[in-house]
Amino acid sequence: MIQVTLKDGSVKSYKKGTTIIEIARDISEGLARVAVAGEVNGQVKDLSTPLNEDCKLNLLTFDSEGGKATYWHTTSHIMAQAVKRLFPNVKLAIGPSIENGFYYDFDSEKTFTPEDLKVIEAEMQKIIKEDYPIERFTLSREEALELMKDEPYKIELINELPEDAEISFYRQGEFTDLCAGPHLMSTGKIKAFKLMQQAGAYWRGNEKNKMLQRIYGISFPKASQLEEYIKMLEEAEKRDHRRLGKELDLFSMNEQIGPGLVIWHPKGARVRLRIEDLWRKQHLRNGYDIVYTPHIGRGELWETSGHLGFYKESMYSPMEVDNQDFYVKPMNCPFHIAIYKNKLHSYRDLPYRWAELGTVYRYEKSGVLHGLLRVRGFTQDDAHLFCAPEQMPDEIRRVLRFCLSMLHEFGFDKYKIYLATKPKDKSVGDEKMWADATKALEEAVKAEGLECDIDEGGGAFYGPKIDIKIKDALNREWQCSTIQFDFNEPERFDLTYVAADGSRQRPYMIHRALLGSIERFFGVLLEHYGGAFPVWLAPVQVKVIPLLEKHQAFANEIADKLRQQDVDVEIDARNEKIGYRIREAQLEKVPYMLVIGDKELESGTVSVRSRKDGDIGSMTVDAFISKVVEEIRTHA
């Protein structure tokens, strides 16, 4: 008998060889119907997997991350089977699940069209109705190569597997694919799906390789979930930050300047300035010092830090100055370390909290650049903390509180916290340091009354970390905040402090970002609000609209009073109808419009229109200014 520990902590005994689906049925027929996979000791497995030793088992439904990945991966195989039926000469590449759905890459002489996608969908529907069992099997390397002899991309993948690797395949009907799994038990388990789009993709993401055709798709256990997802995509399209950035004249990219390099227009710069002003103010209030560091550094610096060893492919090529190589910085940390090394430190001086809005440059392949969300030049909301080991728990809690309060300021109150632990392959630092750091992170989360998911092995090679993913208005997750331990840099740069007993000790170093990068956070913020920023963030907070030329002087007077209170205001005195100018202001998503005519001029009032509520009536100038200033002050 084997002992199986379930997610709720209960332990059940089963015969060796009992499958995961049999255990699900033993617990509940209802659970067995909705289960899609099982997580065995942290690894996601097929429901048909037999268990032969004591283990921890978590039965996964579609609502879990592993469940979605299994469901979507199976749908990608069904799509590949349909494509091979319809276009037998197509060669198969890879077909993984991704964050939102799945894709499969095909090498095809024929270019797929939207009409082809409909035909493929119809064939997929047949395969689902045929309800083929999905069976896993393994082969020797020679047998695997023989089976895949007509699939050159699969042959390449097999040849790259380690000598002792298990080579597994999945079969459904006439279709067999090289795959590590896991998968659903049959094709009939897929209930609702849609193929979304076709795009080009280089084999293995390398532009030197052949361009393949990639088909993206999505699937769900219920048709209603698919309908909701399609509606969400339509709303996301309306909120696309690239479209809004152009419509609202916030930022642009210029091919003459270079891809992935952002140009901030006046209105976008105003919003960015408000973000940065709040960032600086809150950091000073939370006990940080602001620092500034250069944009380039000698190659020797990046050799010591390890970036030239671990990160060179993502760095820009060097520039030669005085017969020495200089690199534009991909990160700020070595410069902050240089500040630390500038003098001797005592335990009484610690902790140090140094923050910088530091612009860095990283070479990203052109195929992954995406508006503000993936760029080559960006400003990191960066900070580094240097502390003694005994200070670590309090510092982590302090950072976590600061992080969540900062996100709250911008209207993000929904989030998910992940604790990424030591990677299984490569890491630096001894076991005790890893254990202490991981424990400190986990206890900090619990001490703040929060919950976190464990990302086993997801830490960086230099230390464990906390990642916070915020949820926007469409409930999409965005990775912004991170709190990372670093056992690597203090060792490489030989950082020390004088401990209470007079000995030289190594400080702990914590990398920390609250917003991530300003560019990416701006893009997320823009999509979250659909361009309709709250008053305190809006690039133009008030637009004054005089009806006639005789009302212009009063409009100027009001605008001057607003500017004296640090309110961003514009006057629209164009010779256009009032309705047209109001509609324009609405399209520009200006929070307040002040209309001035004869009545307002005589009474010294303004007719106030709200972007959200429409006409809200007449107010004195001072009353309106008090209202808008209070909304800005409180971030209403």
- Domain spans in the chain, listed from the N-terminal domain onward: 2-61, 66-233, 251-293+329-528, 542-634
Secondary structure of 196-222 in the HEC alphabet? Answer: EEEEEEEHHHCCCCCEEEEEEEEEECC
Confidence band for 270, pLDDT divided at 50, 70 and 90: very high
Report how far apart, in Å, the C-alpha atoms of 40 and of each of 59, 99, 182 are. Answer: 9, 22, 12
Q: E strand or H helix at 377, and its extent?
A: strand 377-387
Distance in angstroms (rounded) separating the CA atoms of residues 517 and 388 = 28
- Whether 428 has a pLDDT exceeding 80, the answer reads no
pLDDT band at 350 (very low <50, low <70, confident <90, very high): very high
**435-441: average pLDDT:** 84
Residue pLDDT, tens place only, 548-573: 999 999 999 999 999 999 999 999 99
What pLDDT score does 438 carry?
Answer: 86
What number is the average pLDDT over the span 606-612?
A: 95
Instruction: Give per-residue pLDDT as tens, 185-213.
Output: 999 999 999 999 999 988 988 878 999 99
Q: What is the dihedral of CA 354, 359, 360, 363, to 10 degrees?
A: 160
Give the percent of the chain with pLDDT over 90: 83
Taking the alpha carbons of 215, 220, 222, 225 in that order, is the dihedral positive or negative? negative
Note the pLDDT of residue 434. Answer: 83
Average of pLDDT values for 371-382?
94
CATH assignment of 2-61?
3.10.20.30
Give the separation between CA 433 and CA 126, rounded to whole angstroms.
Answer: 55
User: What is the structure's pLDDT at 435?
Assistant: 83
Average pLDDT estimate for 443-472? 86
Residue 6 pLDDT grade (very low, low, confident, very high; cuts 50, 70, 90): very high
Q: What angle do CA 156, 160, 161 make, to 5 degrees?
A: 125
Which pLDDT band holds residue 444 (cuts at 50, 70, 90)? confident
**Cα–Cα distance between 382 and 303 in angstroms, integer?**
21
- The 10s digit of each residue's pLDDT in 73-123 is 999 999 999 999 999 999 999 999 998 999 999 999 989 999 999 999 999
CA distance 505 to 389: 10
Mean predicted lDDT score pLDDT of the chain:
93
When pLDDT is averaged across residues 502-524 and rounded to a whole number, the result is: 94
| Superfamily of domain 66-233 in the CATH hierarchy | Threonyl-trna Synthetase; Chain A, domain 2 (3.30.980.10)
H or E, element range at 78: helix 65-86
Tell me the average pLDDT across 293-317.
Answer: 90
Residue written as token pair 């992954």: 368
pTM of the model: 0.83
pLDDT at 425 over 90: no
**pLDDT of residue 461 exceeding 80:** no
251-293+329-528 sits in which CATH class?
Answer: alpha beta
Task: Give CA–CA dist 70/214, Å, rounded.
Answer: 19
- Point out the residues that are catalytic: 333, 362, 380, 382, 384, 465, 511
User: Percentage of residues in the chain with pLDDT exceeding 70?
Assistant: 100
Average pLDDT, stretch 429-445? 83
- The mean pLDDT value for 330-335 works out to 94
Q: Measured between alpha carbons, how far is 95 from 75 in angstroms, rounded to an integer?
A: 9
pLDDT per residue over 234-244, tens digit each?
999 999 999 99
pLDDT at 83: 97
Q: Above 80 in pLDDT, residue 367?
A: no
pLDDT confidence of residue 526: 97
pLDDT tops 80 at residue 544? yes
The band of 130, judged by pLDDT with boundaries at 50, 70 and 90, is very high
| Homologous superfamily, domain 542-634 | Anticodon-binding domain (3.40.50.800)
In tens, the pLDDT along 378-395 reads: 999 999 999 998 898 899
Look at residue 451 in the predicted model and tell me its pLDDT: 87
Instruction: For residue 56, report the phi and psi dihedrals to the nearest 5 degrees.
Output: -100, 130
Query: Model confidence at 174, in pLDDT bands (50, 70, 90)?
Result: very high
